[in-house]
Chains A and B, each alone.
Chain A
Amino acid sequence: MKKFITGFCQLKNGKFFLNGKNLFEADIPIDEFLQQIVTKFEVKHPRFGKMDRLSKLGYTCADILLQSLGNFKQHQPYEVSLVFANSSSSLDTDFRFQKTLESIASPALFVYTLPNIMLAEICIKNGFKGENLFLISDVPEANLFYEPINQLFIQQTTKACLAGWVEILGESYSCTIFTVEMPEYKKEYQIEFNYTNINRLFE
Protein backbone atom coordinates (compact mmCIF):
# COMPACT_ATOMS: atom_id res chain seq x y z
CA MET A 1 0.00 0.00 0.00
CA LYS A 2 1.68 3.17 -1.22
CA LYS A 3 1.58 6.20 1.01
CA PHE A 4 2.91 9.71 0.55
CA ILE A 5 4.53 12.39 2.62
CA THR A 6 2.17 15.22 1.76
CA GLY A 7 3.86 18.10 3.53
CA PHE A 8 6.60 18.93 6.01
CA CYS A 9 7.81 21.82 8.06
CA GLN A 10 11.11 22.33 9.72
CA LEU A 11 12.61 24.69 12.27
CA LYS A 12 16.35 24.57 12.82
CA ASN A 13 19.33 26.90 13.15
CA GLY A 14 17.13 30.00 13.18
CA LYS A 15 15.34 29.08 9.94
CA PHE A 16 11.75 28.02 9.35
CA PHE A 17 10.88 25.97 6.26
CA LEU A 18 7.57 24.79 4.84
CA ASN A 19 7.85 22.05 2.21
CA GLY A 20 11.52 22.99 1.80
CA LYS A 21 10.80 26.70 1.24
CA ASN A 22 12.51 29.07 3.68
CA LEU A 23 9.68 31.28 5.00
CA PHE A 24 11.35 32.97 7.93
CA GLU A 25 14.77 33.32 9.48
CA ALA A 26 16.19 35.25 12.39
CA ASP A 27 19.27 34.89 14.55
CA ILE A 28 17.44 35.18 17.89
CA PRO A 29 16.80 32.86 20.88
CA ILE A 30 14.25 30.11 20.23
CA ASP A 31 11.55 31.52 22.56
CA GLU A 32 11.62 34.85 20.74
CA PHE A 33 11.81 33.06 17.37
CA LEU A 34 8.66 31.07 18.19
CA GLN A 35 6.84 34.20 19.32
CA GLN A 36 7.66 35.84 16.00
CA ILE A 37 6.42 32.96 13.83
CA VAL A 38 3.29 32.60 16.01
CA THR A 39 2.45 36.24 15.16
CA LYS A 40 3.53 36.01 11.50
CA PHE A 41 1.57 32.82 10.75
CA GLU A 42 -1.37 33.64 13.04
CA VAL A 43 -1.01 30.53 15.19
CA LYS A 44 -3.89 30.71 17.67
CA HIS A 45 -4.47 28.81 20.90
CA PRO A 46 -6.08 30.22 24.06
CA ARG A 47 -3.60 28.34 26.28
CA PHE A 48 -0.47 28.93 24.18
CA GLY A 49 1.22 31.10 26.83
CA LYS A 50 0.75 28.35 29.41
CA MET A 51 2.34 25.58 27.34
CA ASP A 52 5.88 24.37 28.02
CA ARG A 53 8.59 25.02 25.41
CA LEU A 54 8.37 21.53 23.87
CA SER A 55 4.62 21.91 23.34
CA LYS A 56 5.01 25.44 21.98
CA LEU A 57 7.59 24.24 19.46
CA GLY A 58 5.64 21.17 18.31
CA TYR A 59 2.25 22.85 18.38
CA THR A 60 3.43 25.88 16.38
CA CYS A 61 5.08 23.85 13.62
CA ALA A 62 2.17 21.38 13.43
CA ASP A 63 -0.36 24.21 13.26
CA ILE A 64 1.44 26.01 10.43
CA LEU A 65 1.83 22.74 8.49
CA LEU A 66 -1.84 21.78 8.98
CA GLN A 67 -2.98 25.30 8.02
CA SER A 68 -1.08 24.90 4.75
CA LEU A 69 -2.76 21.54 4.08
CA GLY A 70 -6.36 22.76 4.32
CA ASN A 71 -7.98 19.48 3.30
CA PHE A 72 -6.23 17.44 6.02
CA LYS A 73 -9.37 18.27 8.01
CA GLN A 74 -11.42 15.92 5.81
CA HIS A 75 -10.00 12.94 7.72
CA GLN A 76 -12.24 11.54 10.46
CA PRO A 77 -10.98 12.17 14.05
CA TYR A 78 -10.26 8.46 14.74
CA GLU A 79 -8.40 8.07 11.44
CA VAL A 80 -5.60 10.51 12.27
CA SER A 81 -2.69 9.10 14.28
CA LEU A 82 0.41 10.77 15.67
CA VAL A 83 3.94 9.34 15.79
CA PHE A 84 6.56 11.61 17.32
CA ALA A 85 10.04 11.30 18.77
CA ASN A 86 12.90 13.24 20.31
CA SER A 87 16.08 12.66 22.30
CA SER A 88 15.55 14.71 25.48
CA SER A 89 11.97 13.70 26.24
CA SER A 90 10.53 16.45 28.50
CA LEU A 91 13.87 17.14 30.22
CA ASP A 92 13.73 20.89 29.45
CA THR A 93 10.52 21.16 31.51
CA ASP A 94 11.65 18.57 34.06
CA PHE A 95 14.59 20.82 35.00
CA ARG A 96 12.29 23.83 35.36
CA PHE A 97 9.89 21.79 37.48
CA GLN A 98 12.76 20.51 39.62
CA LYS A 99 13.71 24.15 40.43
CA THR A 100 10.20 24.80 41.78
CA LEU A 101 10.62 21.89 44.20
CA GLU A 102 13.02 24.11 46.19
CA SER A 103 9.92 25.98 47.42
CA ILE A 104 6.46 24.75 46.33
CA ALA A 105 6.08 22.52 43.25
CA SER A 106 4.33 24.20 40.33
CA PRO A 107 1.20 22.26 39.22
CA ALA A 108 1.22 24.07 35.85
CA LEU A 109 4.76 22.84 35.13
CA PHE A 110 4.10 19.37 36.52
CA VAL A 111 1.44 18.65 33.89
CA TYR A 112 4.08 19.12 31.17
CA THR A 113 6.64 16.70 32.62
CA LEU A 114 5.82 14.12 29.93
CA PRO A 115 6.70 14.62 26.25
CA ASN A 116 3.40 13.26 24.93
CA ILE A 117 1.52 16.20 26.47
CA MET A 118 2.66 18.03 23.34
CA LEU A 119 0.67 15.48 21.32
CA ALA A 120 -2.36 16.11 23.52
CA GLU A 121 -2.15 19.85 22.78
CA ILE A 122 -2.12 19.15 19.02
CA CYS A 123 -4.93 16.56 19.27
CA ILE A 124 -7.21 18.70 21.44
CA LYS A 125 -6.89 21.69 19.10
CA ASN A 126 -7.44 19.66 15.92
CA GLY A 127 -9.86 17.06 17.29
CA PHE A 128 -7.58 14.12 16.40
CA LYS A 129 -8.54 10.93 18.25
CA GLY A 130 -6.36 8.26 16.61
CA GLU A 131 -3.35 6.37 18.00
CA ASN A 132 -0.56 8.33 19.72
CA LEU A 133 3.06 7.26 20.02
CA PHE A 134 6.05 9.17 21.39
CA LEU A 135 9.49 7.55 21.08
CA ILE A 136 12.85 8.51 22.56
CA SER A 137 15.98 8.07 20.45
CA ASP A 138 19.45 9.61 20.18
CA VAL A 139 18.96 10.84 16.63
CA PRO A 140 16.08 11.29 14.18
CA GLU A 141 16.11 8.54 11.59
CA ALA A 142 13.73 6.80 9.22
CA ASN A 143 13.34 3.50 11.10
CA LEU A 144 11.86 5.35 14.08
CA PHE A 145 8.95 6.41 11.91
CA TYR A 146 8.63 4.03 8.97
CA GLU A 147 7.60 0.81 10.73
CA PRO A 148 5.17 2.26 13.32
CA ILE A 149 3.44 4.41 10.71
CA ASN A 150 3.31 1.56 8.21
CA GLN A 151 1.79 -0.69 10.86
CA LEU A 152 -0.88 1.88 11.71
CA PHE A 153 -1.93 2.06 8.06
CA ILE A 154 -1.92 -1.76 7.72
CA GLN A 155 -4.36 -2.00 10.65
CA GLN A 156 -6.64 0.17 8.52
CA THR A 157 -7.72 2.31 11.45
CA THR A 158 -5.34 5.06 10.35
CA LYS A 159 -5.90 6.99 7.13
CA ALA A 160 -3.54 9.88 7.91
CA CYS A 161 -0.60 10.44 10.19
CA LEU A 162 1.08 13.49 11.65
CA ALA A 163 4.65 12.63 12.59
CA GLY A 164 7.93 14.21 13.47
CA TRP A 165 10.93 14.97 15.58
CA VAL A 166 10.50 17.76 18.15
CA GLU A 167 13.55 18.34 20.31
CA ILE A 168 14.36 21.15 22.73
CA LEU A 169 16.78 21.43 25.62
CA GLY A 170 17.92 24.88 26.68
CA GLU A 171 18.90 26.80 23.56
CA SER A 172 19.40 23.63 21.52
CA TYR A 173 16.39 22.70 19.38
CA SER A 174 15.27 21.12 16.12
CA CYS A 175 11.84 20.33 14.77
CA THR A 176 10.70 18.46 11.67
CA ILE A 177 7.02 17.58 11.32
CA PHE A 178 5.45 15.83 8.34
CA THR A 179 2.12 14.35 7.23
CA VAL A 180 1.59 10.91 5.69
CA GLU A 181 -1.54 10.19 3.65
CA MET A 182 -2.96 7.70 1.16
CA PRO A 183 -2.61 8.48 -2.58
CA GLU A 184 -6.24 9.59 -2.92
CA TYR A 185 -5.54 12.66 -0.77
CA LYS A 186 -3.40 14.34 -3.39
CA LYS A 187 -1.46 17.40 -2.37
CA GLU A 188 0.66 20.04 -4.04
CA TYR A 189 3.72 18.62 -2.30
CA GLN A 190 3.93 14.85 -2.49
CA ILE A 191 6.83 12.41 -2.18
CA GLU A 192 6.66 8.69 -1.54
CA PHE A 193 6.70 7.57 2.08
CA ASN A 194 9.85 5.43 2.25
CA TYR A 195 13.12 5.19 4.24
CA THR A 196 15.12 7.35 1.85
CA ASN A 197 12.62 10.20 1.76
CA ILE A 198 12.08 10.18 5.54
CA ASN A 199 15.84 10.39 6.08
CA ARG A 200 16.01 13.28 3.60
CA LEU A 201 13.63 15.26 5.81
CA PHE A 202 16.17 15.09 8.62
CA GLU A 203 19.23 16.13 6.58
Chain B
Amino acid sequence: MEQLIYNLKEQIIERLNLTDTKPADVDSDAPLFDEGLGLDSIDALEIIVLLQQVYGIKITNAEEGKKAMRSVKTLAEYIIEKKG
Protein backbone atom coordinates (compact mmCIF):
# COMPACT_ATOMS: atom_id res chain seq x y z
CA MET B 1 0.00 0.00 0.00
CA GLU B 2 2.77 2.47 0.97
CA GLN B 3 4.68 1.76 -2.25
CA LEU B 4 1.50 2.21 -4.32
CA ILE B 5 0.79 5.55 -2.61
CA TYR B 6 4.34 6.73 -3.35
CA ASN B 7 4.06 5.61 -7.00
CA LEU B 8 0.73 7.41 -7.36
CA LYS B 9 2.21 10.63 -5.99
CA GLU B 10 5.09 10.42 -8.48
CA GLN B 11 2.75 9.64 -11.37
CA ILE B 12 0.33 12.48 -10.52
CA ILE B 13 3.20 14.98 -10.20
CA GLU B 14 4.67 13.92 -13.55
CA ARG B 15 1.35 13.69 -15.38
CA LEU B 16 0.04 17.04 -14.15
CA ASN B 17 3.38 18.86 -14.50
CA LEU B 18 3.39 19.91 -10.85
CA THR B 19 6.96 21.08 -11.30
CA ASP B 20 7.52 22.51 -7.82
CA THR B 21 6.01 19.54 -5.95
CA LYS B 22 7.80 16.46 -4.61
CA PRO B 23 6.11 13.22 -3.47
CA ALA B 24 7.04 14.07 0.14
CA ASP B 25 5.09 17.36 -0.16
CA VAL B 26 1.84 15.53 -0.91
CA ASP B 27 -0.22 14.54 2.14
CA SER B 28 -1.75 11.12 1.38
CA ASP B 29 -4.98 12.05 3.20
CA ALA B 30 -5.34 15.63 1.90
CA PRO B 31 -8.09 16.39 -0.63
CA LEU B 32 -6.78 16.35 -4.21
CA PHE B 33 -9.17 19.05 -5.41
CA ASP B 34 -9.79 22.63 -4.28
CA GLU B 35 -7.70 22.35 -1.11
CA GLY B 36 -4.58 20.16 -0.82
CA LEU B 37 -3.01 19.93 -4.27
CA GLY B 38 -5.66 22.32 -5.61
CA LEU B 39 -6.38 20.29 -8.74
CA ASP B 40 -9.14 21.19 -11.21
CA SER B 41 -11.56 19.36 -13.52
CA ILE B 42 -8.99 18.92 -16.33
CA ASP B 43 -6.61 17.38 -13.79
CA ALA B 44 -9.39 14.97 -12.79
CA LEU B 45 -9.64 13.84 -16.43
CA GLU B 46 -5.87 13.35 -16.54
CA ILE B 47 -6.04 11.16 -13.41
CA ILE B 48 -8.80 9.09 -15.05
CA VAL B 49 -6.51 8.61 -18.09
CA LEU B 50 -3.63 7.70 -15.75
CA LEU B 51 -5.74 5.03 -14.02
CA GLN B 52 -6.69 3.56 -17.38
CA GLN B 53 -3.21 3.67 -18.92
CA VAL B 54 -1.09 2.58 -15.96
CA TYR B 55 -3.47 0.41 -13.92
CA GLY B 56 -5.96 -0.72 -16.58
CA ILE B 57 -8.87 0.62 -14.51
CA LYS B 58 -11.75 2.39 -16.21
CA ILE B 59 -13.98 4.61 -14.08
CA THR B 60 -17.50 4.29 -15.43
CA ASN B 61 -19.50 5.48 -12.42
CA ALA B 62 -19.15 9.21 -11.66
CA GLU B 63 -20.02 8.84 -7.96
CA GLU B 64 -17.54 6.01 -7.53
CA GLY B 65 -14.87 8.11 -9.29
CA LYS B 66 -15.56 11.08 -7.05
CA LYS B 67 -15.10 8.98 -3.93
CA ALA B 68 -11.95 7.31 -5.30
CA MET B 69 -10.34 10.64 -6.17
CA ARG B 70 -10.84 12.26 -2.78
CA SER B 71 -7.17 11.78 -1.84
CA VAL B 72 -4.09 9.82 -2.90
CA LYS B 73 -4.89 7.26 -0.18
CA THR B 74 -8.48 6.69 -1.38
CA LEU B 75 -7.15 6.39 -4.93
CA ALA B 76 -4.69 3.68 -3.82
CA GLU B 77 -7.47 1.85 -1.95
CA TYR B 78 -9.65 2.02 -5.08
CA ILE B 79 -6.86 0.54 -7.23
CA ILE B 80 -6.30 -2.32 -4.73
CA GLU B 81 -10.05 -3.01 -4.60
CA LYS B 82 -10.37 -3.07 -8.40
CA LYS B 83 -7.24 -5.13 -8.99
CA GLY B 84 -8.30 -7.60 -6.30
Report which A residues bind B (CB closer than 8 A). 46, 48-50, 103-108, 111
Across the interface, do B38 and A50 meet the contact criterion of CB distance under 8 Å?
Answer: no
Give 22 pairs: A residue, B residue, CB < 8 Å, sorted on A. A46-B38, A48-B19, A49-B17, A49-B18, A49-B19, A49-B20, A50-B16, A50-B17, A103-B53, A104-B52, A104-B53, A105-B49, A106-B46, A106-B49, A107-B42, A107-B45, A107-B49, A108-B16, A108-B42, A108-B43, A108-B45, A111-B42
Per the bound structure, the CA–CA distance linking A111 and B42 in Å amounts to 8
Our pick among B20, B38, B43, B49 for the contact of A104 (Cβ within 8 Å) is B49
A171: min CB distance to chain B, Å: 20
- Chain B 22-53 against A: per-residue CB contact (8 Å), 1 yes, 0 no? 00000000000000001000110110010011
Indicate the size class of the contact surface on chain B. Answer: 10 to 19
B48: min CB distance to chain A, Å: 8
Given contacts A46-B38, A108-B45, 4 further A-B contacts (CB under 8 A): A49-B17, A49-B19, A50-B16, A105-B49
Closest 4 CB pairs of A and B: A107-B45, A49-B19, A49-B17, A104-B49
Per the bound structure, the CA–CA distance linking A107 and B42 in Å amounts to 6
- Which residues of chain B have C-beta atoms less than 8 A from A49's C-beta? 17-20
- Which residues of chain A have C-beta atoms less than 8 A from B42's C-beta? 107-108, 111
Per the bound structure, the CA–CA distance linking A13 and B42 in Å amounts to 34
Within 8 A of A (CB), among B50-84: 52-53
Chain B residue at smallest Cβ distance from A47: B40
- Which residues of chain A have C-beta atoms less than 8 A from B17's C-beta? 49-50, 108
- Which residues of chain B have C-beta atoms less than 8 A from A111's C-beta? 42
- Which residues of chain A have C-beta atoms less than 8 A from B45's C-beta? 107-108
- Which residues of chain A have C-beta atoms less than 8 A from B18's C-beta? 49
Per the bound structure, the CA–CA distance linking A64 and B51 in Å amounts to 38
